Structure 1
Amino acid sequence: MTIRDYDVLIAGGGNAALCAAISARRGGASVLVVEAAPRFYRGGNTRHTRNMRCAHDSATETLSGPYYEEEFFEDLLRVTGGKTDEKLARMMIAESKDMLNWIVEQGVRFQPSLGGTLSLGRTNSFFLGGGRAMLNALYRTAEQLGVEVRYDTEVVDLDIVDGRFRSATVLHRGQRQSIAAKAFVAASGGFEANIDWLKEGWGEIAENFLIRGTPYNRGTVLKMLIESGAQQIGDPTQCHAVAIDARAPKYDGGIITRLDCVVFGIVVNRDAQRFYDEGEDVWPKRYAIWGRLVAAQPDQIAYIIFDARSLELFMPSLFPPVKAMTIPDLAGKLGVDASALEKTVSDFNAAVQPGTFDHTSLDDCRTEGLFPPKTHWARRIEEAPFYAYPVRPGITFTYLGVRVNEQSRMMMADGRPAANMFAAGEIMAGNVLGQGYAAGIGMTIGSVFGRIAGREAAAEVRANLPAPATMEIA
């Protein structure tokens, strides 16, 4: 069955897809968005987000100070270890300065800047009502503009010839339909919910990973694009992976299962041994390393240990911490060796040096003569009751994707730009994120490249419209 042709077909239903849809529609194109999820679960991982990171030159009503382009780029270099396409990254950061205004024009609202342990009040804008409210605003605007949306509609085949998209086959309620379009935007996320694909890079340990976001991001469109000649970019084992509560569901646990308390205690593995510096840097820049660190531990499990002084310094998990009046009792509740945990805590306490604790900055509270060290926020764990959170790797999204240029146009394996195919969001995040993560940058990638992809797709359609007929006058 064939349904009517569109100027632009967009695969995906999250932030990147909607920014592309709105941008393309404002560019005069007819637009269809196909979302694999049901309406209630629309939006991919955008449902679980809270904020976006954008450059800006001064404080605003919702940001406490300036965040210049160069500082943003330096932060990106720090978290990626330099593994980024500098030209694309700098372009994205420059474009991000206008996104705060543009996204508000699409109906999204921000709340006043946040203080506290997140340390993001200057760099990140928080959505009023969270990711779902942001998503609902974008859907309202898109639909008011005339964008069509079809839910429960999965792309199962792509007709691509020599870098030119011709049509997509979708599956909707058991029925296959063909959709032709003059341009195609892939904004359908990564493959983090495809455990078999994760195993190809990670091996069997991927069975112990929890997926923080949508179960619908299985990489179907990504795989078809690569098989059709799109140029691949990124490492299949690189991803946004954080330490989340081990009691979280397999899929869709979202932000409420993330744990921000690593910096306030110590982290031990199944053998009650520490394995990394918990105080390496401020949390928004380093929290996304902990998923990979836990993934490298036996059975992919670890435990964050802290005492009563730290209980109210961070945003807790949905689940209550494990609580005990002594370290041996805590070990028993966690199922780890009591004497080993007691020694680890004792050795840590003995290594803590005097300092002035300040959870808002890189303070001088550190250990000495201990490996691994704790370089900041080191306080003795000695005030009962004692607490622990069990954590596992929580995969947010993967970085393997398709290469794009500054027009968000896909690049083909032979080095040519695709004729009429564009990509935005997680499916091309590996262009910017070779590894690592900084809070809010996923939404930046989706918004900036989504807006560009939609704009360029509409321009591609206009450029290829038949010339109007002319009449010769005698």
Structure 2
Amino acid sequence: MMDKMVDVLVVGGGNAGFTAALAAAERGRSVVLLEKAVRDLAGGNSYYTAGATRIPHGGLADITDFIEPDERHSATEVPPYIAEDYLADLEKVSEGRNDPELSRVLVEESHGTLRWLQRQGLKYRLMYERQAYSRPDGSFLFWGGLHIGNVGGGKGLMEDHREAAARAGVAVRYGHAGTGLIIDGGRVVGAGYRTDTGESGEVRAQSVILASGGFEANPEMRRRYLGEGWQNAKVRGTPGNTGEMILAALDAGAAKGGDWSTCHSVAWDAGFAENESNFELTNQLTRGGYPLGIVANRNGERFIDEGADFRNYTYARYGQDILNQPGSVAFQIFDATTRPMLRAEEYDMPGVSVMREDSLPALAARAGIDPVVLERTVGDYNSRIDATKPFDPNIKDGRASGVEPRKSNWALALDTPPFYAFPVTCGVTFTFGGLKTDTYGRVLNSAGNPVPGLLACGEALGGLFSGNYPGGSGLAAGAVFGRRAGSVA
């Protein structure tokens, strides 16, 4: 199939690309998928995720029939997460800069798309270890609108995709990096490639779907579009998302879409030696437990509201705040009371960076934090907690500390030794700027007309997110718009 015209060429082998390939193959199209990474390192950013996927639903009874059975279901409460909530969350976290039509399609089709993928062989479950705390009576309450994930996380997601593609007859070519688009008479008619062994060639196709990610793994493009200092961020996911195919599309007349000046970035282990594109540990280097403690910089000062909202709605923007601190590093601080509540997959991972001491001054000295300021910061924080509000991590409990910046929820005094400091830096996940498309992923030019033969999905499609995003909406968008692109290619 590499030597003749095919119906559909997909460039990029993550969740969006494989979904597009499956949708095209289901319609009887011949499909070739080019993946830059070799087989043993493939999967795009999707492989590095926890597999969390945000969809609207009517509660546990509405999803039980397509998720894996679990004996805990009978003691579990999953609040409904309706379409209006999803749309409101997209608008809230992006401060109204999300494209309304793309957002509407994402919300309306994500539930059905997951069911379709489950019929293709992908497996889903409730994410107990990430999205629910056990209550005193042994029951579970899910929170934050994000409840479903892939069995086996991102690794399981991509293994399921590969098996589904094989059954569907998709020709996957690993170690084939897209190098540019082939244009004939104003129409995109294929793409060039270069293999991991140095060979080059091209594939001609009636339609080309770009699912090749953003530009987060390109330090020069990060610096140019995100700003000075972003070249120093750590890449959480695949090293392959370096933006070449987005630039090739722009050269072919495509218009930019979305917010090119912001990205998804998180608190990331600052001290782990191999803290970029770690194919074994993947998402375990994230540090998402900050709502249970405080975050201080090297000066000993807090600089964010750790309890502004559920982690799902804040974690993708706090990486930038950390990048702006002295040395682009900060410290998540917990005590003996809060430390046991942290997610084991992140805070007990092999080689986790952590300092443990029996006093705050000793902890500060070891971490390189100003000890006088840190002790004053913690003292002020502890003394201004509204102890009349009961602590409950399953809801926004209003248990605030009236310091500046305020901690709006889940404020527990840090006063029980030993004390812990986890050093974090900025981990960049994906860039929000991409190509301008219609709701089926057809790439548009500056006049708003389709670039013939060219479509985009996944992180190459711009317009859904700006400044922040609701956790789990990235994989959902990749699936929805991948399916849509494959349905018209």
- Confirm or deny a common fold (TM above 0.5): yes
Aligned counterpart in structure 2 of residue 174 of structure 1, from 198, 220, 223: 198
* 2:33 and 2:172 in contact (8 A); partners too: yes
CA–CA distance in 2 between the matches of 1:419 and 1:147? Answer: 23
Please say if 1:220 is aligned against 2:220: no
Task: Decide whether aligned partners of structure 1 residues 347 and 163 sit closer, same or farther in structure 2, where only a CA change above 3 A counts.
Answer: farther
* 1:322 and 1:388 in contact (8 A); partners too: yes
Instruction: Tell me how far 1:269 sits from its aligned partner.
Output: 1.1
Q: Deviations along 1:427-454, whole A, 9 cap, x unmatched?
A: 11x3111231111111011000000101
For normalisation by structure 2, the TM-score amounts to 0.89
Please say if 1:348 is aligned against 2:364: no
| Letter aligned with residue 283 of structure 2 | I
Q: Percent identity?
A: 33
* 2:54 and 2:145 in contact (8 A); partners too: no
CA–CA distance in 1 between the matches of 2:322 and 2:127? Answer: 31
CA–CA distance in 2 between the matches of 1:131 and 1:26? Answer: 23
Please say if 1:443 is aligned against 2:475: yes
Instruction: Tell me how far 1:162 sits from its aligned partner.
Output: 6.2
Larger Rg: 1
Please say if 1:35 is aligned against 2:35: yes
Instruction: Tell me how far 1:56 sits from its aligned partner.
Output: 2.0
Q: Secondary structure at the match of 2:229?
A: helix
| Letter aligned with residue 433 of structure 1 | F
The residue that corresponds to 2:276 in the other structure is 251
| Letter aligned with residue 116 of structure 1 | A
Q: CA RMSD in A?
A: 1.8
For normalisation by structure 1, the TM-score amounts to 0.92
Aligned counterpart in structure 2 of residue 271 of structure 1, from 288, 293, 299: 299
| Letter aligned with residue 471 of structure 2 | A
CA–CA distance in 1 between the matches of 2:285 and 2:354? Answer: 12
The residue that corresponds to 1:376 in the other structure is 409
| Letter aligned with residue 78 of structure 1 | K
CA–CA distance in 2 between the matches of 1:452 and 1:372? Answer: 43
Please say if 1:130 is aligned against 2:158: no
Instruction: Tell me how far 1:343 sits from its aligned partner.
Output: 1.4
Instruction: Map residues 399-410 of structure 1 onto 2, 5 A cutoff.
Output: 399-410=432-443
| Letter aligned with residue 67 of structure 1 | Y
* 2:442 and 2:454 in contact (8 A); partners too: yes
The residue that corresponds to 2:132 in the other structure is 116
The residue that corresponds to 1:156 in the other structure is 179
Q: Deviations along 1:332-368, whole A, 9 cap, x unmatched?
A: 1111221121111112122222131111111132123
* 1:163 and 1:412 in contact (8 A); partners too: no
Structure 1: where are the runs of 5+ without partners?
Answer: 458-474
| Letter aligned with residue 414 of structure 1 | A
Q: Secondary structure at the match of 2:180?
A: strand
Q: Deviations along 1:214-263, whole A, 9 cap, x unmatched?
A: 01111110111112211101333311111111124342243101112211
Instruction: Tell me how far 1:121 sits from its aligned partner.
Output: 8.1
The residue that corresponds to 2:357 in the other structure is 324
| Letter aligned with residue 139 of structure 1 | R
The residue that corresponds to 2:117 in the other structure is 103
CA–CA distance in 2 between the matches of 1:404 and 1:88? Answer: 9
The residue that corresponds to 2:211 in the other structure is 187
Task: Decide whether aligned partners of structure 1 residues 442 and 402 sit closer, same or farther in structure 2, where only a CA change above 3 A counts.
Answer: same
Aligned counterpart in structure 1 of residue 371 of structure 2, from 338, 349, 373: 338
CA–CA distance in 1 between the matches of 2:144 and 2:325? Answer: 33
* 2:16 and 2:482 in contact (8 A); partners too: yes
Task: Decide whether aligned partners of structure 1 residues 235 and 87 sit closer, same or farther in structure 2, where only a CA change above 3 A counts.
Answer: closer
Aligned counterpart in structure 1 of residue 321 of structure 2, from 282, 290, 293: 293
* 2:189 and 2:453 in contact (8 A); partners too: no
| Letter aligned with residue 394 of structure 2 | T
